[in-house]
Amino acid sequence: MIRVLIADDHAIVRQGLKQILADSGCMAVVAEAENGLEAVQKVRALSGDIDVALLDIAMPGKSGIDVLKMIRDEAPGLPVLILSMYPEEQYAVRLIRAGAAGYMTKESAPQALVEAIRRVASGKKYISPSVAEMLAEEVGGGNSASLHASLSDREYQILLQLASGKTVSFIAEEMSLSVKTISTYRSRILGKTRLKNNAELTHYAINHQLV
pLDDT digits (tens, 9 = 90+) for 162-201: 988 999 999 898 888 899 999 999 999 999 888 899 999 9
How far, in Å, are 23, 64, 81, 121 from residue 50 at the CA level? 19, 19, 13, 10
Alpha-carbon distance of 203 to 205, in angstroms, equals 6
Per-residue pLDDT 10s for the chain (211 aa) are: 999 999 999 999 999 999 999 999 999 999 999 998 999 999 999 978 999 999 998 787 777 788 899 999 999 999 999 998 877 777 888 888 889 999 998 888 999 999 999 999 999 999 888 888 777 776 655 544 477 878 888 888 899 889 889 999 998 988 888 999 999 999 999 998 888 999 999 998 888 777 7
CATH code 1.10.443.10 for 147-207: no
CATH architecture of the domain 2-138 equals: 3-Layer(aba) Sandwich (3.40)
Q: Which residues contact 73 (CB under 8 A, 6 or more apart)?
A: none
Residue type, 93: V
Domain parsing of the chain, residue ranges: 2-138, 147-207
Alpha-carbon distance of 55 to 68, in angstroms, equals 8
Q: What pTM did the predictor assign? A: 0.75
